[in-house]
Homo-oligomer: A and B are copies of this chain.
Amino acid sequence: MQIVTSIEQMQAIALDYAKEKSVGFVPTMGFLHKGHLSLVEQSNKLCDHTVVSIYVNPSQFGANEDLGSYPRNMTRDLELLGQYKVDYVFCPTTEDMYPADYRTWINVEELGSVLCGASRPGHFKGVATIVLKLINIVHPNFMFMGEKDFQQIAVLRTMLKDLNLLTQIVPCPIVREPDGLAMSSRNSYLNPAERKQALCLSLAIQLARKLFAQGELNPSEHRNQTSKLINEMSGKVDYISFVNPETLKEVKTISSETRIILAVYIGKTRLIDNSSMSE
C-alpha cells in the first residue's frame, strides 16, 4: 500500500496502470467505517487495482457547516486500509487541490438543487467538482460509492454521462449497525442519548415500507406517519421525500421503485438515510 500526496505523482502512476489494468476507486473523506470498507472489498473483487482517496473536501461544506469539526483519524484509516488490498491511498492537500486562483466549478442542474441540495446550497457543486478532479487524477474504470449518499450517486452518474466520462459508478448497499442505524462518520458526533434517537431514521424507513406493504400508496400519508414517528423520538425532520430514483422528482403515487429519502437533525447532527420500498 503506497501513500501518495502529490497530484502529479498520482497522475503518473494512473497513466501507467490505466493502460493495462482495471482500476477501482473509492473516494472518501476518511474516518473510515465498515461502509467504506465494504466499498474497498467490492473493488478488490472486481478490479485489478484499488485506489482509495482520503480528503475532507472543503468545497462541499457550507459556511455554517461542520468542516472544522469533521472527524479525522488518518493513522487509524491507514491501519484499516492495510487489512485490504489497497494499492494506493491518495491524500492530497487543499493547497494542491484548490490553489488560491482556483475558479472552475461543475453544476449538475436540477438534481443538485433538490433534497440535500436545497438544505445545503452549493454542496453538490463541491461534490461534483472534487469527484471530477479525482477522476482526472486517478483514471478509474469503476468508482465504488455507498447508497447512503443516494442523491450523490444520482448527481455524479449524470455528470459522468453528460461529460462523456467512461468511469462507471458501482452503487453499494448501505451498511448498518446491528440496530439499523446507517453507518456514517458523523455518527461519532452523537452522545449516548442521541445515538438512541438516531434510530428514528431507519425506523421511519421501516414504517414506510410496512405502510407500502399494507397498500398505502399516498406520499402525504407516508410523510405524516413517518414525521410523527421521528418527532416522537426527538428527531427534527429536515426533509422526507418519496422520489423517482433516477430523476429524484417527488412521486404522486408510491411504487416499489420509489425511494424514501430523508434528512433528520439529531441534536445538532444532520443524518441522512434512504431505501426503496421493496429492499
Instruction: Please choose the segment from A129-137, A170-178, A250-258 that sits at the chain B interface, where 4 or more of its residues have CB less than 8 A away.
Output: A129-137
Q: How many residues of A contact B (CB 8 A)?
A: 27
Stretch binding the partner chain, chosen from A63-71, A75-83, A105-113, A183-191 = A105-113
| Cα–Cα, bound, A19→B17 (Å) | 11
Give the residue name and chain of the B residue nearest to A104 (CB).
Answer: B162
Copies of this chain present: 2
Complex CA–CA separation, A7 to B166 (angstroms) = 11
A104 touches B136 (CB 8 A): no
A105–B164 Cα distance when bound, in Å, is 13
Contacts of A162 in B (CB 8 A): 102-104, 133
Chain B hits for A133, CB < 8 A? 162-164
Q: Known contacts A104-B158, A104-B159; decide if A136 and B164 are in contact (CB<8 Å).
A: yes
Closest residue on chain B to residue A133 by CB atoms:
B164
Choose from B11, B107, B165 the contact partner of A136 (Cβ within 8 Å).
B165
Smallest Cβ-Cβ distance to A165: which chain B residue: B136
Q: Which residue of B lies closest to A103 (CB)?
A: B109
A152 CB → nearest B CB, Å: 14
- Closest chain B CB from A101 CB (angstroms): 8
> Distance (Å) between the CB of A264 and the closest chain B CB?
28
Tell which of B11, B109, B136 touches A105, judged by Cβ atoms closer than 8 Å.
B109
Q: A134: nearest residue on chain B (CB-CB)?
A: B164
A132 nearest CB across to chain B (Å): 6
Residue of B nearest to A136 (CB): B164
The docked-state distance in angstroms from the alpha carbon of A235 to that of B101 is: 36
**Across the two chains, which residue of chain B brings its CB closest to A246?**
B101
In the bound complex, residues from chain B placing their C-beta under 8 Å from that of A107 are 104-107
Task: Evaluate contact between B108 and A106: CB separation under 8 angstroms.
Answer: no
**B104 lies within 8 A of A106 (CB):** yes
Identify 20 residue pairs between A and B in the complex whose beta-carbon atoms are under 8 Å apart, listed by A's number. A7-B164, A11-B164, A11-B166, A19-B19, A103-B108, A103-B109, A103-B110, A103-B158, A103-B162, A104-B106, A104-B107, A104-B162, A105-B106, A106-B106, A106-B107, A107-B107, A133-B163, A136-B163, A136-B164, A136-B166
Could you list which residues of chain A lie within 8 angstroms of chain B, going by C-beta atoms? 7, 11, 15, 19, 101-111, 128, 132-133, 136-137, 158-159, 162-166
**Additional A-B contact list (11), CB under 8 Å, known A7-B164, A106-B106, A133-B162:** A11-B166, A15-B166, A101-B158, A103-B110, A103-B162, A104-B107, A104-B108, A104-B162, A105-B106, A105-B109, A106-B107
